[in-house]
Amino acid sequence: MKRLTNKIIIAVCTFVIGISAALIWFSASLPNASLIPPLDRESTVQFASLPETTIYSVNLCELVQNPERYNGKIINTQGIYEQTVDMSALTDSACNARLIPSTPSEKSFWKTMNQLNKVLQSSRANKAQVDVVGRFTCQGSSIDNSYPFHQRCNQLLEIFELKGTSRTVK
């Protein structure tokens, strides 16, 4: 019984010494508030410059016809994903809209492509109905006469999430 009591006393003393040492170390490492320089007005964060997190649900035709309205915004849209030898695009035949998809990283590219390829392999038309969330960008300005309406910029959709897919009939 005496051995057990000695072990408990040693354990409690070790615990108290450890906690005391940690408290002293933490309090000694805290900086003195008077040594911290005040912030300049120029270095404060402007909340207007922070990225927007609102997800806009928008029709693909509306998106492509009004690119300035959605430039840099996170959007949710649906369309037909078409993959051919020459291109891959998100399209809507109602207005002949065509949007070039991209992904933020190689890892997400392969994840998205694997999901799409599963659906495309079951469809002989190389088309799939998709529901995507991503950042729409409208870069530069150019006129492309192959569209019924003239594009005012190079339009890309950086796909963050593939919410749903289904094969389409020809």
Q: What is the mean pLDDT of each run of 10 residues along the chain (170 residues)?
A: 88 94 75 52 44 82 86 89 82 86 78 78 76 83 48 73 69
Does 43 reside within a domain? no
Does 42 reside within a domain? no
Q: Looking at residue 143, what is its pLDDT?
A: 45
pTM above 0.85, yes or no: no
Q: Looking at residue 47, what is its pLDDT?
A: 41
For tokens 């950042």, what's the residue?
A: 135
106: number of Cβ within 10 Å: 8
**Residue-range definition of the domain harbouring residue 26:** 2-35
Q: Looking at residue 140, what is its pLDDT?
A: 66
Measured CA to CA in angstroms, residue 168 lies from 29, 74, 117, 121, 122 at distances of 63, 26, 13, 11, 10
CB contact set of 100 (below 8 Å; sequence gap of 6+): 87, 88, 89, 90, 154, 155, 156, 157
**Pairwise CA distance, residues 88 & 113, whole Å:** 11
Q: Looking at residue 43, what is its pLDDT?
A: 40
The number of distinct structural domains making up the chain is 2
Does 24 reside within a domain? yes
60 and 115 together in one domain: yes
Q: For residue 143, what is the domain's CATH number?
A: 2.40.50.140
Q: Looking at residue 32, what is its pLDDT?
A: 56
